[in-house]
Structure 1
């Protein structure tokens, strides 16, 4: 790879970047790390907040992270699928963090991180993780919340049903929701082809604390639109999700085909699972939903 070096202007006097690390321009246009901001609190994968040469700050998950080897691919594929299904996903990028960058930053050097191509999610400074029930009420868009439930069942993302910090609330007029953190999608961060094939079905009902917070706004037939969108997914659309996944992430032809088959088999089984949750009283089917308010 041809590497063109350039001077990076850093405001801090005596910056370690000027002394130790000279960022280069990636010939493929992939953003390259220029400055570590700090670790992300509470991240199971020990994600890091990093400034890149495109001027953006990304929350970066690394190869060699603590959760498992499939985290980066899970994040990229789920994010692309969310875009395809018109869900509000945080902006994302494949980014480059060289090994020398990792080695010169003490907090990262002590981790088992591996340099190269990583997954980056754009950092939103004013975002609020784990939105409250009151915040969700300001959205005035129950079909959006319903589409999140449908999406999570499609990709088997149990994590968000329990943890609201996988959703960002952006205050404003109007306020917005953004989805993040899909490292536990499919069968988690360590799935194998054989496990995907053996555990595609059934689509198990998901319901945790965050879904309970959303429940008052999921009245009646709010799931119809998102269910229809999922059921219309075709093989060629799912195959497009697999294009240009970095080879170093280990998602080869067999893994890609297993993921496609996993999604194809599940897309028509989400509807009966949602119906089962409604029959169990998890989501209200009438306007009388006071019992769903979280005190």
Structure 2
């Protein structure tokens, strides 16, 4: 597995194609100036830039660990997009999202992962469960797997609900050391029999340097969206410290995941 953290490309949105109304934050399929289609996540939706930051950090950590995530890009949205949209809800969303947003490459023809239809091997299941415990991702359940099958491979999507500590910023060091009790609802937990092996492997890959490189990708304007530049710098530091502390204490959430799995079988 590569330990190199790539730089993200920046594209300009040229065409709003269609909303994806199954998403609570109303993402959309959009075309960019590189002529590719993307799933566009708006800074003006739901939890705002915090959801984009979670999507960015979680997605690039997953990629670094060798898991498949659609390419993530920064997407500039021009103010003209909100002027001609007839749907008032979408128009307001576009106007609130002028500037830098986040987008993921659209996997045309992908289908939602169904654990009843598709069997995932124990190693991959353990890797995904470990990842979601690490990033505190509450949104990978039977009801909403947030995984796609594309070209016979499993792809991870929608990490905006991860890193929920940043909605309060309080006691982040304490939160970093906590078990992830929500793992009991993880769709892949019954198959995750190799958590100890994965814990050892992933801790050797995901070191402080790579964590800092990923956190460094966060645009400054997202960090200072509702605060000062000084507070923005502090938040970048907190993201780094949270992830580094959580990695050092990964045995805690692995133990919780193993106990939760034992309770299922």
| Normalised TM-score (structure 1) | 0.75
Higher relative CO (CA 8 A, sep ≥ 6), structure 1 or 2? 2
CA offsets 1:9-63 (integer angstroms, 9 cap, x no match): xxxxxxxxxxxxxxxxxxx972111111111121111111101111111111111
Counterpart secondary structure, 1:64: coil
Q: Structure 1's 210 and 203: CA in aligned 2 closer, same or farther, altered over 3 A?
A: closer
Among candidates 163, 170, 176, match of residue 200 of structure 1: 176
* Residues 78/276 of structure 1: CA separation in 2 closer, same or farther (3 Å cut): closer
Match of 2:96 in 1: 113
5+ residue gaps, structure 2, are: 1-7, 225-231
Report how far residue 91 of structure 1 moved.
1.7
Unpaired segments ≥5 residues, structure 1: 1-27, 285-290
User: 1:153 Cα shift?
Assistant: 0.6
Aligned residues: 247
Find out whether 1:238 has 2:215 as its counterpart.
no
Deviation at 1:113, TM superposition (A): 2.5
Please, which of 106, 110, 126 is the counterpart of residue 127 of structure 1? 110
User: In the alignment, is the contact (CA less than 8 A) between 1:162 and 1:208 conserved in 2?
Assistant: no
Task: Give the alignment's Cα RMSD to 1 decimal.
Answer: 2.5
Query: Does 1:76 find its partner at 2:76?
Result: no
* Alpha-carbon distance in structure 1 between the residues aligned to 2:60 and 2:49: 19
Cα-to-partner distance string for 1:133-189 (whole Å, 9 max, x where unaligned): 331x1x4x321111010000111111114543411112x4xx21111111111116x
2:76 maps to 1:96: yes
Aligned to 2:46: 66
* Equivalence map 1:1-295=2 (5 Å): 30-107=10-87, 108-111=90-93, 113-135=96-118, 137=119, 139=120, 141-161=121-141, 163-170=143-150, 172=151, 175-187=152-164, 191-194=167-170, 196-211=172-187, 214-219=188-193, 222-232=194-204, 233-250=206-223, 252-280=232-260, 282-283=261-262
- Please give the secondary structure, in 1, of the residue aligned with 2:42: strand
2:32–2:38 Cα contact (<8 Å) kept: yes
Scaled by the length of structure 2, the TM-score of the pair is 0.82
